Structures are given as structure tokens and as C-alpha cells.
Amino acid sequence: MNDLEAVFEENSFAEGRFRRAYLGTWTNPIVKRGQRCVVKELKEEYTWEASDWKTAELVQQEAQTLADGFNAYSGCKYPIKFARVDVMRVVTKKNQNTTPALGEYVVAEDYIEGTFKKWCNNYGYISDEAQDFAMSLPAFMHWSWYHTDGQMMAADLQGVKKPDGYWLTDPVILSDVDGEYGCTDMGVEGMAMFFMKHKCNQFCKLLPSPTFDDFAGVILPQTLQKCKLAIPSMMGCTAFRSELKFTKPIKNVVLRTFRNIATRI
């Protein structure tokens, strides 16, 4: 934590499956005073320790590091930038019956002005706009997978497109280690679902990429069908690890397949 301070509204203005968001205003430091911010709390449980947000901070940092690498690689005129998250504690409030609770830890970030969109999620959803116009975003996911030798993928890309780039929030990191990046880390299953939908474009066409044929005989037909049917139901939503469908043997085979493909060049 640092010396940031903010006040926020009593009622949330947006929420996802994982978090609830409140519109706020920075009061400290002076350079931020009066600027709008967003305060977010976990929906399922109170967070009484600042360390409860450690994964969220780590995910943002990893996603930004990957974005910096992709921006340099692609030369895209709309660079990708993730909003920084800061952990804060609720120290005063008027209505004691509302959440976040007094003493609860939340995260705050600068408010992103503009039309908010979800271009990709963490389980195979890629919007039509991302396929046809915002092509650098799914290409970034593909590149992050290749850049880390198939061990990680930046996902759940959502935010606002501005004249100076894409300003994104609440990313997800998919990893080849079970749940390393929290309950939204769908691991190699999430990566596989992405590649089943992804169509390479000008930003990633030179990178190795799994194809549907690479999964034939690797994933049981009935499992594959369940996964493919789940993708439309996840439109606009973030998937949770409780919804994973791969058995451990399938996951291990897919992981080996990914490693072989990611290091092909």
C-alpha cells in the first residue's frame, strides 16, 4: 500500500462474476486530487488482509510486462496498457450496512473514460470486433503464449480504446501451473479454448500456433464437445476454475503438445 486516498459512492456502478466496482474520486496525492477512480471489492467474501489482493497485483504486473514486450514486437499504433491497481483500506463510511465493509481492503485504479468493451475472455471468447478490427488484442494473447514458451497467456482483455492506445483493466493470466494466478487462471484448458477460436492476423501470423488438428486424438471427443459448447455461454464473462473440464491426463498431454508447438521456431 501507499499514500493514495479516495472517496467512493455507496452503490456499485458495475460488477462482474468476480468483483463489484464503485465510482470514486482521488483525494490524495495532490496531483490526483479530484480525478475519478474506480474502487473494487471481491464479491464473495470480505478481504481483511492487504495480502488478499496479492494475486491481483501480480497479475496486473505480469500482464503489463507482457504488454510492453508485445508493443515493442508488434509496433502497433495502439499500444496496450493495463490500469495500475493499488491496495487500499476502507477507514470511514456513512452507511454501515453497505459493502465494502469498514476495515475491508479494496483495490483502486484510475477511471478509464470512454466506451467499455470486452474483446476476449479467459475461455475462448473472442468478439467479432477483436477478430476483424481490434486484431492486436487476440494477437497479444497469442504472442504472450509464444513468448513464454507456452507457459503463460495474458487473457480477459477488456477496457477502452483511446487515440493513444488500448487502456485495459482486470486482466487474467493463464498458466501451466494449476491456479498459480488465482481462481480465474484457466490454465492450459483456457489456452486451448483460445486457439480453437483464434485466427492469426498480421500481428501474429509468423508465430507458431496450435490448430484444431493438434487437439484431435489428444482431447476426448466428448470433452472437446463440452468445451466448445461452453465457449458461447462464456460470452462477455470471466470463467472460473470450478468450471474446468479437462481431466489431469488430458491436461498433461495438451501441455506437452503446447510446449512442442511453442518452441517450434
pLDDT at position 218 is 73
pTM of the entire predicted model: 0.92
> What is the rounded average pLDDT for all residues in the chain?
91
% of residues, the chain, pLDDT over 90:
71
Average pLDDT over residues 213-241: 77
Cis peptide before 210 (omega within 30 of 0): no
Average pLDDT over residues 163-188: 95
Q: Are residues 103 and 210 in the same domain?
A: no
Q: Are residues 129 and 210 in the same domain?
A: yes
Region at 94 (left for phi over 0; alpha for psi -120 to 50; beta for the rest): alpha
User: Domain containing 253 — which CATH number?
Assistant: 3.20.200.10
Average pLDDT over residues 160-165: 97
Q: Are residues 97 and 192 in the same domain?
A: no
Chosen domain end from 61, 82, 110: 110
pLDDT above 60: residue 265: no
Of the candidates 102, 12, 97, 89, the residue with the CA atom closest to the CA atom of residue 53: 89
Chosen domain end from 92, 110, 128: 110
pLDDT in tens, 21-68: 999 999 999 999 999 999 999 987 889 999 999 999 999 999 999 999
pLDDT in tens, 183-201: 999 999 999 999 988 999 9
Average pLDDT over residues 234-258: 86
Average pLDDT over residues 13-21: 91
> What are the angstrom distances between the C-alpha of 6 and each of 27, 35, 89, 114, 264?
5, 10, 10, 21, 49
Q: Are residues 235 and 123 in the same domain?
A: yes
Q: Are residues 101 and 121 in the same domain?
A: no
Distance separating alpha carbons of residues 160 and 137, to the nearest angstrom: 12
pLDDT above 80: residue 231: no
Residue 120, C-alpha cell as written in the block: 476476449
Average pLDDT over residues 120-133: 95
Name the domain count of the chain. 2
pLDDT above 90: residue 129: yes
Q: Are residues 139 and 203 in the same domain?
A: yes
pLDDT above 60: residue 123: yes
Q: Which domain holds residue 227?
A: 117-262
Of the candidates 64, 31, 43, 241, the residue with the CA atom closest to the CA atom of residue 169: 64
Helix (H) or strand (E) holding 38: strand 36-42
Distance separating alpha carbons of residues 164 and 79, to the nearest angstrom: 7
Q: Are residues 96 and 17 in the same domain?
A: yes
Q: Are residues 94 and 123 in the same domain?
A: no
Residue 143, C-alpha cell as written in the block: 504472442
Q: Are residues 129 and 231 in the same domain?
A: yes
Q: Are residues 130 and 98 in the same domain?
A: no
pLDDT at position 97 is 85
Q: Are residues 254 and 150 in the same domain?
A: yes
Backbone angles phi, psi at 146, to 5 degrees: -65, -45
Chosen domain end from 75, 110, 145: 110
User: Domain containing 16 — which CATH number?
Assistant: 3.30.200.20
Q: Are residues 99 and 143 in the same domain?
A: no
